[in-house]
Structure 1
Amino acid sequence: MDQKFYNAVEASPVIAAIKDMDGLEKCCQVEDIKVVFILFGDICSIDGIVQKLHEAGKIAMVHMDLIVGLSSKEIAVEYIKNNTHADGIISTKPALIKRGRELGLYTVLRFFILDSIALRNVEMTDHQYAGARPDFIEILPGVMPKIIKRICKKSRCPVIAGGLITDKEDVMGALNAGAISVSSTNQDVWFL
């Protein structure tokens, strides 16, 4: 794991996740926001979004699965690295995370915990996604302190909690359960 990225996430209990240009503008104005998850854009606009974040001194993490026009193939990771100069990627696909690591990008492997089967898969696949070697795993929704705690105890990878985080209680619940940080598109949460 890259120590610079780990330190930036650890120092930022709340990661700004942006879903539109308004969020981009607002997060660029907040000095305390160090890491930004980009959850919107397309292959024509993503380089400009990353550039704006870099100009504001932010670490730009592109969610590969949400950028319109990108394929789910490993070549899309090379496109992001070479054409946007993003610092890293987020994806639900271990193959993309693995390719990102090979290219020297920061990586976050995202899991949706929808039921007990999904939870068991995350717990049992720790060794499987270890081949991808993500810097962090992100668990969604992030408003399940008991589940986050359970995953944190079993995972060798640091955990970020995301999704449905709306207030200080949600943030504190996730952090107290063992998450290193939370990600949120809720701009009120950015300023807690």
Structure 2
Amino acid sequence: MNQIFYNAIMENPVIAAVKDEDGVLNCMQKDINVVFVLFGELTTISDIVDRLKSAGKIVIVHLDLIGGLAVREESVRFIKQYTKADGIISTKPDMIKYAKELGLYTIFRIFVIDSKAFNAISHHAISSADLIEILPGIMPRIIQKFSQKTHVPIIAGGLISEKEDVINALDAGAIAISSTNQQVWNM
């Protein structure tokens, strides 16, 4: 993983995940280093990224959630060529691998809904990612098991709403948490 990216996360392990324009405006005013963009369309994503970059943020676009972009290599190239985004998030291992080849930061998002999902996650699928984001992030034992299973650093995301959730995730081995809950951004 790029040292600048890693240092930015370690300096402030709370990542703002923005899901609307209000989130963009609010996180621009916060002392947050990294922002996950979880909304937008083909026609708006470049502007969203530009505004966040002008506020000094490292911007990671959730490729799977951008309207008008199919989860295909062309979409990764679009993000690389037509936005100033620093990286992508995706649930698709092929997109992570391709984005990494293009020099983007990569976050592989995993939904751990049961033991079958946990056991089905292959080392090969996650090995090319810079980070893994585990959802929901309020499962310290799962975070701990995952951190023992892989060398890839972990972000805990989803359903984190209390300071205790943040502390438990970090104590379990996550290097950061991501949240759309703007109150968590102030913790």
Query: Shared fold by TM > 0.5?
Result: yes
Q: Which residue of 2 aligns with 1:27?
A: 27
- Paired residue type of 2:5: F
User: Shift in Å at residue 75 of structure 1?
Assistant: 1.0
Q: Secondary structure at the match of 2:183?
A: helix
Q: Which residue of 2 aligns with 1:3?
A: 3
- Paired residue type of 1:21: E
Q: Which residue of 2 aligns with 1:157?
A: 152
**Pair 1:128–1:55, CA change in 2 (3 A):** closer
Answering whether residue 119 of structure 2 is matched by residue 126 of structure 1, we say no
Answering whether residue 64 of structure 2 is matched by residue 65 of structure 1, we say yes
Cα displacement string for residues 50-106 of structure 1 (whole angstroms, at most 9, x for unaligned residues):
000010000010000000000111110000110112100000001111111111100
- Paired residue type of 1:112: F
Structure 2 residues without counterparts, runs of 5 or longer = none
User: Shift in Å at residue 128 of structure 1?
Assistant: 3.7
Q: Pairwise CA RMSD of aligned residues? A: 0.8
- Paired residue type of 2:120: N
- 8 Å CA contact 2:53–2:84 kept in 1: the answer is no
Answering whether residue 133 of structure 2 is matched by residue 138 of structure 1, we say yes
Cα displacement string for residues 20-58 of structure 1 (whole angstroms, at most 9, x for unaligned residues):
00000000011x200000000000000000000010000
How many residue pairs get matched? 187
Q: Which residue of 2 aligns with 1:172?
A: 167
Q: Secondary structure at the match of 2:71?
A: coil
Counterpart Cα distance in 2 of 1:75 and 1:23 = 28
TM-score by length of 2: 0.98
Counterpart Cα distance in 1 of 2:125 and 2:67 = 28
Counterpart Cα distance in 2 of 1:172 and 1:191 = 14
Q: Which residue of 1 aligns with 2:53?
A: 54
Q: Which residue of 2 aligns with 1:187?
A: 182
Q: Which moved more, 1:181-190 or 1:3-12?
A: 3-12
- Paired residue type of 1:84: T
Identical columns (%): 56
Counterpart Cα distance in 2 of 1:149 and 1:129 = 16
**Pair 1:129–1:13, CA change in 2 (3 A):** closer
Provide runs of 4+ in structure 1 moved above 3 Å: none
Alignment of 1:71-150 (within 5 A): 71-122=70-121, 125-130=122-127, 133-150=128-145
- 8 Å CA contact 1:140–1:161 kept in 2: the answer is yes
- 8 Å CA contact 2:64–2:90 kept in 1: the answer is yes
User: Shift in Å at residue 191 of structure 1?
Assistant: 0.1
- Paired residue type of 1:54: K
- Paired residue type of 2:81: N
Counterpart Cα distance in 1 of 2:34 and 2:125 = 27
Structure 1 residues without counterparts, runs of 5 or longer = none
User: Shift in Å at residue 127 of structure 1?
Assistant: 3.1
- 8 Å CA contact 1:126–1:156 kept in 2: the answer is no
